[in-house]
Chain A
């Protein structure tokens, strides 16, 4: 697996969410992802960036272009140093929310991507990695 492109975006305020949406959309257009794939990943990025800001107290997102055996994929890593998620299974349940949202951000994002990895340690922070491979 090779990394051909890499950029880190600071996530601090809600304005950064629309910034990352634009950025992800631009990268996916350049990588020739289909419109449906673009929409799915942009939406997932929007959800996870909001989680990083609202629950993680801010953090960063890393955009990575991967190439693997002729496949092209976009990987996004959302990282914060917030309180962490105490119960991962519960957090991934539809409709569960500690805030006032719909409780679909995390579970829904997982369904929108090809690979989803969630790591969290109490008081250390949370790191979520999502990957979408382009359908050729």
Chain B
């Protein structure tokens, strides 16, 4: 059969495009392929029409494989739909069903046109089915990629925003750590901290870890390294916010914070930092 030279798919679809579009839109509605609140009917019609013409164009150039150059326009169009779906909050099934819902109306059309040629009908249905399956998979993969892009972007944003180094007093910095510490995050935190020490000429840093859910030997090691690096720059580190359950776990684990000043709360740490900086907190009596 070669590359479907005898195939009439493109011709058949092209001749009944209007009818096919109407039937497809009906099918989409039935299959709830697209959230009606998330996309307008006009937009959906426009998009489906465009997709149908691209499908015909693809069929004209080759029916064997949708990964070829000839199908690239169709693939790109599907990619943008699928990625938008991912961003807009469509579900994976909604995205895949969009393409799959084209099967029923196309099959019906082929049956109507080829009712006298059962062999040809079977061949054509098989061909279309294969094409739509591979396009469906493509849109699913693109949807997935869209989701991954979102996750990666959020992760980057989190790395950027979740490690603030703040000056809370002249010469005193604080780093509130929140969430899971891994080597990449620790690296970013350490770099930010050391730079800020230089910028603000700080002599004391309070590392607040009450927002870190688990402190294992790796996290402890990261903390030690950060403290050691700060120390090399002449800055003293205080670790605050060690919760009771973490303290007990540390002791049994055998991790000793021997040379590091630790305080229960940020307030205790700040008080200690004031003392180290020869600052007194004075409470004034109310004047009568």
What is the interface of chain A, defined by CB distance below 8 A to chain B? 14, 18, 21, 25, 35-36, 38-40, 42-43, 46-47, 50, 94, 101-102, 104-105, 107-109, 111-112
How many residues in B have their beta carbons less than 8 Å from beta carbons of A?
19
B214 close to A (CB within 8 Å): yes
Q: Are A21 and B249 in contact (CB under 8 A)?
A: no
Interface string of B244-275 (1 = CB under 8 A from A): 11101100111100000000000000000000
Show 30 residue pairs from A and B whose CB-CB distance is below 8 angstroms, ordered by the A residue: A14-B182, A21-B214, A25-B213, A36-B249, A39-B245, A40-B248, A40-B249, A40-B252, A43-B214, A43-B249, A46-B214, A47-B216, A47-B217, A47-B253, A50-B216, A50-B218, A101-B218, A102-B217, A102-B221, A104-B217, A104-B255, A105-B216, A108-B252, A109-B253, A111-B252, A111-B253, A111-B254, A112-B249, A112-B252, A112-B253
In the complex, B180 has a CB within 8 A of chain A:
yes
Q: Is the CB of B246 within 8 A of A46?
A: no
Q: B220 in the interface, Cβ–Cβ < 8 Å?
A: yes
Interface Cβ pair total, 8 Å cutoff: 64
A46-B254 contact given A36-B245, A36-B248, A39-B245, CB 8 Å threshold: no
Instruction: Determine which of A14, A25, A36, A43 lies in contact with B216 in the assembled complex, contact meaning CB atoms within 8 Å.
Output: A43
- A interface SS class: helix
User: Contacts A14-B182, A94-B254 given: A105-B217 contact, CB under 8 Å?
Assistant: yes
Interface positions of B from 170 to 188, Cβ below 8 Å from A:
180, 182
Q: Given A104-B255, A108-B254, A111-B253, is A35 in contact with B245 using a C-beta cutoff of 8 Å?
A: yes
The interface residues of chain A lying within 8 Å CB-to-CB of B10 are none
User: Does chain A have a CB within 8 A of B215?
Assistant: yes
Q: How far is the CB of B158 from chain A (nearest CB, A)?
A: 13
Compute how far the CA of A119 lies from the CA of B58 in the bound complex, rounded to whole angstroms.
59
- Nearest CB of chain B from residue A102's CB, rounded to whole Å: 5
Minimum CB–CB distance from B259 to chain A (whole Å) comes to: 14
- Would B245 and A108 count as touching, CB distance under 8 A? no
Nearest-neighbor residue (CB-CB) of A35 within chain B: B245
- Which B residues are CB-close (under 8 A) to A35? 245
Taking a contact as CB atoms under 8 Å apart, the answer to whether A108 and B248 are in contact is no
Q: Which of B203-231 contact A (CB under 8 A)?
A: 213-218, 220-221
Q: Within the assembled complex, what's the spacing in Å between the Cα atoms of A81 and B117? A: 59
Interface centre among A38, A43, A94 (most CB of B within 10 A): A43
Looking at the assembled complex, report how far the CB atom of B185 sits from the nearest CB atom of chain A, in whole angstroms: 11
A101, B217: Cβ atoms under 8 Å? Answer: yes
CB atoms of B217 and A38 under 8 A apart: no
Question: Are B245 and A38 interface neighbours, CB within 8 A?
Answer: yes
Contact of B220 among A18, A50, A102, A111 (CB under 8 A): A102
